[in-house]
Amino acid sequence: MGRLSGKRALVTAAGQGIGKASALALAQEGAKVFATDINEEALAGVSHPNIETFMLDARDDASVKAAVERAAPDVLFNCAGFVHHGSVLDATDDEWDFAFDLNVRSMFRTMRAALPGMLERGGGSIINMSSACSSIIGAPNRFIYGTTKAAVIGMTKSVAVEYITKGIRCNCICPGTVESPSWHDRVKALGEELGSYDAALKQFVSRQPMGRVATAEEIAALVVYLAGDESGFTTGQPHVIDGGWSG
């Protein structure tokens, strides 16, 4: 019997990185997990007896509705998100629209689909993926990204206050830099700009006062806590887990 036995959890972007680590951690704690991602191949590597995987594009409203019907989640972890690189002067309208659609509107879609079932069943825990780079702290070349992740905090607070008396909690997670496949791609890209992978790695790590980035498992532990009843008195909060970056 794990801490999450009897709970059903729907996770977006569970094919790799924080989403994958969280799906596995939720399953290890006894939840029945529906691990979804737009990349079906990546899902093949997300394996546990408590995990069912299926393809889900978090930008597709009809598929989101079908996924919520299938999962009937008590726990919804909205992890899907994309990091745009650039300043306000680099950003295009299309990039802005894409990032808002994936990083913000996808959570609107899943919450809108999942809340009626949670209300019917008398409770639920929604966890939205924000970032320390948001309204918590600014970072260079994260104009669109930081703006979308600040919106996630506002959206989280709004949903939390609306359902505070209905047994439904809504929190968000604000990590610092976390080791993940897309982070490795970002280090590589910066390395090409700076002329050296090691220089890029140094730049990323130097903004983390602990001298290292987080592991996806460290973030997954917070997801498990927020999913379960032991976090029953927290709602509407951005949970910063950034190795002291914003401290």
Interface positions, 124-143, toward ligand NAD (CB under 6 A): 129, 131
Q: Is residue 145 among the annotated active site residues?
A: yes
Measured in whole angstroms, how far is the alpha carbon of residue 10 from the centre of its chain?
A: 12
Question: Which 3-state string (H, E, C) describes 96-147?
Answer: HHHHHHHHHHHHHHHHHHHHHHHHHHCCEEEEEECCCECCCECCCCEHHHHH
Binding mask 140-179 for ligand NAD (x = CB under 6 A): -----------------------------------x-xx-
Q: Taking contact as CB under 6 A, which single stretch among the options 56-64, 109-117, 160-168, 192-200 is the one that binds ligand NAD?
A: 56-64
Q: Which is nearer to ligand NAD, 123 or 197 (CB)?
A: 197
Token duo for residue 236: 């509407």
The structure tokens listed for 17 are 């990185």
Other Cβ atoms within 10 Å of 3 Cβ, number: 16
Please check whether residue 237 is in contact with residue 171, taking contact to mean a CB–CB distance below 8 angstroms: yes
CB of 1 to ligand NAD, least distance (A): 29
Q: How far is the CB of 5 from ligand NAD (least distance, A)?
A: 26
Angle at 42 between CA 46 and CA 197, to 5 degrees: 110
Note whether 18 binds ligand NAD by CB under 6 A.
Answer: yes
Q: Which residues bind ligand NAD (CB under 6 A)?
A: 12-13, 15-19, 37-39, 42, 56-59, 79-81, 83, 102, 129, 131, 175, 177-178, 180-183, 216
